[in-house]
Structure 1
Amino acid sequence: MLMVQFHANTRLAPQVVTLPTVTLPTVTPPIVSLPIVSLPIVTPPLPSRITHESTSTFVDGA
């Protein structure tokens, strides 16, 4: 009985350690890539809109 329990514990340990090791690196790259791609895409439209509004105000004032 003791030997069987020891075997089951040893078999579970390696499986549980492999799962988190593969999940961590796999989830890290996509999370870092998403914000890097979202930032540049959201940055250009913001200044473009501000420039358009500024140009409109300048033309109105002139």
Structure 2
Amino acid sequence: MSKETPCVAVCMIDPKTKLCFGCGRTLPEIARWHTMESVDRLAIMALLPARMAEAGLMPIAASPKRI
């Protein structure tokens, strides 16, 4: 994945918090991610760890690549 995306390819939205279990973004953020300016993406990424912790969600790590 790109350095400017928090995506770990675990795309499931928590029905209670409306956050992605894998990265912590909301559906609107995910939908517009590719059109956002780099500075905006980086600003959101800086908030994600605290957002996930506040919501009581543990990030799901990406599955290791199989060779």
Structure index of larger Rg:
1
| The structure with more helix, counted as a fraction of residues | 1
Give the TM-score taking structure 1 as reference length: 0.28
The structure, 1 or 2, with the larger RCO (C-alpha pairs under 8 Å, 6+ apart) is: 2
